[in-house]
Amino acid sequence: MPAWKAGRGKMGFMAPLIGTWVATVSDTPMGKVVCERHYSPILDGKFIRLEANWDIGEGKKTYQEIAHYGLNRDKIPTFWSFTSDGGTSIGTLADVSDMHDGAMGFSAHMPSGLARFGFWPTQTGMMWAADAQTKTGWSSMIRHDCVRVE
């Protein structure tokens, strides 16, 4: 598996994500899903902006997210997320190493409970994953094998 080169500082682990990534999943109950995730540095590089666009069922439904990643007032890596369905969430850096050796990620309290997401390098790009906490542990919600397109 290729190693990622982290950047400097507490948010340096996000540096390998800068750019555009696409995941295509053909076999979902809603049909084909294409998710494009674009990460870019903003505000003199102090924050990273994510713009994610999901095309679900070949244009039948879309879902969008804008999130900002950076240090909060306590200097803890944090994200602030806003979604096209009206959702908002704030989360902080979390230990997601049980998702995959070397995975980095965040967790947040959502209306339905605690959720987390993580990412790690793969042979072809990046795996992005999200889990929900259940009474018996973490339950996988989604896995996207992303390839860099930019």
Query: Is residue 4 assigned to a domain?
Result: no
| Cα–Cα distance, 8 to 26 (Å, whole number) | 37
Query: Is residue 7 assigned to a domain?
Result: no
Residue 61 belongs to domain spanning: 12-148
What is residue 29's predicted lDDT score, i.e. its pLDDT?
79
pLDDT by residue for the chain (150 residues), tens only, comes to: 556 788 899 999 999 999 999 999 877 878 899 999 999 999 999 999 999 999 998 778 999 999 999 999 999 999 999 999 999 999 999 999 999 998 999 999 987 889 999 999 999 999 999 999 999 999 999 899 999 997
What is residue 2's predicted lDDT score, i.e. its pLDDT?
57
Query: Is residue 107 assigned to a domain?
Result: yes
Query: Is residue 16 assigned to a domain?
Result: yes
Query: Is residue 51 assigned to a domain?
Result: yes
- The total of structural domains in the chain comes to 1
What is residue 58's predicted lDDT score, i.e. its pLDDT?
79
Query: Is residue 52 assigned to a domain?
Result: yes
What global pTM score does this model have?
Answer: 0.92
Task: Report the half-sphere exposure of 88 (CA within 13 A, side-chain side).
Answer: 1
| Cα–Cα distance, 150 to 69 (Å, whole number) | 20
Residue 150: DSSP 8-state: -
Q: For 56-77, how does the pLDDT look when each residue is reduced to its tens digit (9 = 90+)?
A: 987 789 999 999 999 999 999 9
Query: Is residue 93 assigned to a domain?
Result: yes
CATH number assigned to the domain comprising residue 130: 2.40.128.20
| Cα–Cα distance, 37 to 90 (Å, whole number) | 18
Query: Is residue 26 assigned to a domain?
Result: yes
